[in-house]
Structure 1
Amino acid sequence: MTSSVPTLGNHNTILIHPSTSSSDLSVGCPTQGERLQLVNSLMLCCSFHRLRLHEGKVVKDRRHHLRTYPNCFVAKELIDWLLEHKEASDRDTAIKIMQKLLDQSIIHHVCDEHKEFKDMKLFYRFRKDDGTFPLDNEAKVFMRGQRIYEKLMMNTETSILATREEEGETFERTLVASELVDWLLAEGEMATREEAEHLGRRLLEHGIMQHVTNKHHFVDGGLLYQFRLNFRRRRRLMELLNERCRTIPESHDSPFCLRKQNPEGSNTSFLSVSPTKEIKMIVGIRRSSMSSSCGSSGYYSSSPTLSSSPPVLCNPKSVLKRQVSPEELQTPGGPYIKKTFTIVGDAVGWGFVVRGSKPCHIQAVDPSGPAAAAGMKVCQFVVSVNGLNVLSLDYRTVSNLILTGPRTVVMEVMEEADY
Structure 2
Amino acid sequence: METISMSVLKKANELEQMTEILIIGEQLRFRLHEERIIKDRRYHLKTYPNCFVAREVLNWLIDRKEASDREIAMKLMQKLIDTSIIHHVVNETEEFKDGKGFYRFRKDDGTFPLDQEVKVFMRGQRIYEKVMNTENALLQAREEDGTKYERTFVASQFVDWLMLEQEAKSRTEAVQLCRRLLEHAVIQHVAGKYHFVESCLLFQFRLNFRRRRRLMELLSEKPQAVLESHDSPFCLRKQSHDKATSFQSVSPTNEVKTVSSVRRSSLSSNSSLGYFHNVPISSINPYVPLSNPRSVLKRPVTLDELLAPGAPYIRKTLTIVSDAVGWGFVVRGEKPCHIQAVDPSGPAAAAGVKLRQFVVSVNGVNVLHEHFRKVSSSILNGPRTIVMEVMEETKS
Bucket of the pairwise TM-score, normalised by the shorter protein: 0.5 to 0.7
- Corresponding residue to 2:164 among 172, 186, 203: 186
Instruction: Please say if residues 358 and 392 of structure 1, whose CA atoms lie closer than 8 Å, have aligned partners that are also in contact.
Output: no
Separation (CA, whole Å) in 2 of partners of 1:244 and 1:182: 34
Amino acid of the structure 2 residue aligned with 1:154: N
Separation (CA, whole Å) in 1 of partners of 2:321 and 2:107: 20
Separation (CA, whole Å) in 2 of partners of 1:392 and 1:52: 19
- Corresponding residue to 2:150 among 172, 190, 214: 172
- Whether 2:69 is the aligned partner of 1:90: answer yes
* TM-score, normalised by the number of residues in structure 2: 0.55
Q: Matched residue of 1:232: which SS?
A: coil
* TM-score, normalised by the number of residues in structure 1: 0.52
Q: Structure 2 unaligned runs (5+)?
A: 1-6, 224-319, 324-362, 366-376, 386-396
The residue correspondences of 1:4-403 to structure 2 (distance < 5 A) are 31-112=10-91, 115-155=94-134, 157-243=135-221, 307=321, 393-396=381-384
Q: Structure 1 unaligned runs (5+)?
A: 1-25, 246-305, 310-356, 360-388, 398-419
Amino acid of the structure 2 residue aligned with 1:178: S
Q: 1:143 to 1:392 in 2, by over 3 A?
A: closer
Q: 1:390 to 1:187 in 2, by over 3 A?
A: farther
Q: How many residues align?
A: 232
Separation (CA, whole Å) in 2 of partners of 1:112 and 1:98: 16
Q: 1:244 to 1:235 in 2, by over 3 A?
A: closer
The percent identity for this pair of structures is: 58
The CA deviation at 1:393 is 3.0
Q: 1:195 to 1:88 in 2, by over 3 A?
A: same
Q: 1:392 to 1:60 in 2, by over 3 A?
A: closer
Separation (CA, whole Å) in 2 of partners of 1:392 and 1:229: 19
Separation (CA, whole Å) in 2 of partners of 1:131 and 1:185: 31
Q: Matched residue of 2:58: which SS?
A: helix
Separation (CA, whole Å) in 2 of partners of 1:392 and 1:226: 22
Instruction: Please say if residues 12 and 182 of structure 2, whose CA atoms lie closer than 8 Å, have aligned partners that are also in contact.
Output: no
Q: Deviations over 1:338-369 (max 9, x none)?
A: xxxxxxxxxxxxxxxxxxx899xxxxxxxxxx
Q: Matched residue of 1:49: which SS?
A: helix
Amino acid of the structure 2 residue aligned with 1:164: R
The CA deviation at 1:143 is 1.2
Separation (CA, whole Å) in 1 of partners of 2:380 and 2:86: 36
The CA deviation at 1:243 is 3.0
Instruction: Please say if residues 124 and 186 of structure 2, whose CA atoms lie closer than 8 Å, have aligned partners that are also in contact.
Output: yes
Instruction: Please say if residues 153 and 159 of structure 1, whose CA atoms lie closer than 8 Å, have aligned partners that are also in contact.
Output: no
Q: Matched residue of 1:31: which SS?
A: helix
Separation (CA, whole Å) in 1 of partners of 2:81 and 2:208: 25
The CA deviation at 1:66 is 2.0
The CA deviation at 1:145 is 1.0
Bigger RCO of structures 1 and 2 (CA < 8 A, at least 6 apart): 1
Q: 1:119 to 1:171 in 2, by over 3 A?
A: same
Separation (CA, whole Å) in 2 of partners of 1:358 and 1:223: 43
Instruction: Please say if residues 133 and 381 of structure 2, whose CA atoms lie closer than 8 Å, have aligned partners that are also in contact.
Output: no
Q: Matched residue of 1:111: which SS?
A: coil
Which residue of the partner structure matches residue 244 of structure 2? none
Q: Deviations over 1:154-205 (max 9, x none)?
A: 12x3230000011111111000000001111111111111111111111111
Q: Deviations over 1:77-126 (max 9, x none)?
A: 00000011111111000000000111112111110166211111111111
Q: 1:392 to 1:127 in 2, by over 3 A?
A: closer
Separation (CA, whole Å) in 1 of partners of 2:192 and 2:157: 19
Instruction: Please say if residues 133 and 380 of structure 2, whose CA atoms lie closer than 8 Å, have aligned partners that are also in contact.
Output: no
Q: Matched residue of 2:188: which SS?
A: strand
